Amino acid sequence: MLFNTPEFVVFFLLIAAVTFVLNHFRMNIVRNVVLLLASYAFYGNLHVYYPLLLLYVTLVNFVGGRLLEAEHRSLRQRKVIVGCVVVGTLLPLVVLKYAPAYTDSLWLPVGLSFFSFQALTYTLDMYRGKISERFSLLDVALFTAFFPTLLSGPIERARRLVLQLRDKFDMGWDNAIVGAQHFCWGLFKKIVVADRLAEWVDAVYAQGTAASGGALALAAVLYSFQIYCDFSGYASMAIGCGRMLGIRLMDNFNYPYFATSVKEFWRRWHISLTGWFTEYVYISLGGNRVSRIRWVANIALVFLLSGIWHGATWSFVIWGAIHGAMYLVEYFTGIRDKWGIYRVLVFIGVTLAWVFFRIPDAATACQLIARMFTTSWLPLSSIIGLSASTLIMGCVFLVFLVTEWCLYTGRMPKHWLWRAVGFSSLIVMTALFAVNSEKFVYFQF
């Protein structure tokens, strides 16, 4: 049961209706019990054993948090507790995600990386004194399992989300309308734009080194938008679901391809994960309060860990290393964007790095990139063809680009009538041009 299925719409409307009634009568605890059961049912629908892992991660962090509450604990004891919780939380992730690299088997529960990192924010914030009040088991369990964030984030912080889940939800019309708009825009990005781009990108990469340089270059560019629409589409739907329930989830994307530097790109792409690594890894290593050499090592380590977080292959390691190298080169050269030129270079660098993200074998990825620069580029018409499917892809892609530009620049119509027309048109285009897909790119992580 994924966000882009009719089953989820029925599920969500039912849960929203029950939540609204319980919330209206201020039955907060009963409401949260219902949401917790619904979240476990949502996750269990994917696999009957998935909720056991979710429960395990929840209990490890809840017990760890309780142990940290004791005032008589020494600093050394608190560090030991945190270390045990981190190891205990990440152990299933390490075994299930990275052991397949050596065993040729794979069983990675969807969302494990995301809710493991989210649960850890409770323990780590307790250790750092950022949480001053006691959270109940229900608080921690619902925070960890909250179904809009469960499968692919955003990776929320306990200190922010738990307090919202405790209070009365603001389930008014304004939030319902804004949430529905977020959800529909995310749905359009996913099943209309991303999934249509995926058909063409997959067809090109299936040819391997037999594909022309022009086709591979175009596929690399389109994949940049495919993965953005796929992942940001999921994030928009998650944020929309939360908003319709009266919960404000953090933004996970902020128009990253408009970034004028690599540093800015990472402030705009997968914001919740970037923030997680910054707060709980980079700062823990000393951040920028260390020597220059140590700082360089910290930056390199964070980017390499980001690559490894995505998967145990050399392609992901190289992907992280490329971004780390671009970040450091940018810092030491002091290069700045002039007339939009560097912005284009940043996009090109990010796009080439995505090839390693898309192709699991690093050697093959290098060969494909080499072909982009060493083989002739055929005329565009012979590369993409002129089929009806291609024309539809081009039209919906243009709609996406124009809409993103208007959202980024704040030029969207303000009058309710124009907004209603735009919203209705979006729904119609989604119904007419949607492509059925049962997976999201980031579910594999």
Residue-level pLDDT at 153:
85
Which residue type does 38 have?
A
In degrees, to the nearest 5, what angle opens at C-alpha 181 toward C-alphas 418 and 3?
A: 150
What is the C-alpha to C-alpha distance for residues 55 and 116, in angstroms, rounded to an integer? 11
Residue-level pLDDT at 380:
54
Our measurement of the distance from residue 19's CA atom to the centroid of its chain's CA atoms, rounded to an integer in Å, reads: 26
Higher pLDDT: 156 or 210? It is: 156
Nearest one of 298, 362, 292, 350 to 326, comparing CA atoms: 350
- Say how many C-beta atoms besides its own lie within 10 A of residue 132's C-beta: 8
Model confidence pLDDT, tens digit, residues 414-424 = 777 888 888 88
The runs of H, that is alpha helices, within 375-415 are 380-384, 388-409
What is the C-alpha to C-alpha distance for residues 366 and 362, in angstroms, rounded to an integer? 6
Residues catalogued as catalytic: 310
The runs of H, that is alpha helices, within 245-291 are 262-268, 271-277
> Where along the chain do its domains lie?
6-169, 174-260+336-433
Residue-level pLDDT at 420:
85
Cβ distance 56 to 95 under 8 Å?
A: no
State the virtual CA torsion across 415, 416, 422, 426 in degrees, nearest 10: 150
Residue-level pLDDT at 258:
94
What is the C-alpha to C-alpha distance for residues 348 and 220, in angstroms, rounded to an integer? 9
Per-residue pLDDT at 104 exceeds 50? no
Higher pLDDT: 381 or 193? It is: 193
Model confidence pLDDT, tens digit, residues 350-373 = 999 999 999 989 999 999 999 998
Model confidence pLDDT, tens digit, residues 248-289 = 999 999 999 999 999 999 999 999 999 999 999 999 999 889
Residue-level pLDDT at 412:
85
Question: H/E element holding 297?
Answer: helix 292-310
What is the C-alpha to C-alpha distance for residues 407 and 111, in angstroms, rounded to an integer? 29
What is the C-alpha to C-alpha distance for residues 320 and 317, in angstroms, rounded to an integer? 5
Higher pLDDT: 41 or 426? It is: 41
What is the C-alpha to C-alpha distance for residues 65 and 86, in angstroms, rounded to an integer? 12
Per-residue pLDDT at 158 exceeds 70? yes
Model confidence pLDDT, tens digit, residues 283-313 = 999 988 999 999 999 999 999 999 999 887 8
* Greatest Cα pair distance in the chain: 73
Name residue, tokens 């089929």.
387
Question: What is the secondary structure of 180-233 as a DSSP string?
Answer: HHHHHHHHHIIIIIIHHHHHHHHHHHHTGGGS-HHHHHHHHHHHHHHHHHHHHH
Name the band, by pLDDT with cuts 50, 70 and 90, for residue 389: confident
Our measurement of the distance from residue 387's CA atom to the centroid of its chain's CA atoms, rounded to an integer in Å, reads: 33
Model confidence pLDDT, tens digit, residues 16-54 = 999 999 999 999 999 999 999 999 999 999 999 999 999
Average per-residue pLDDT for the chain: 90
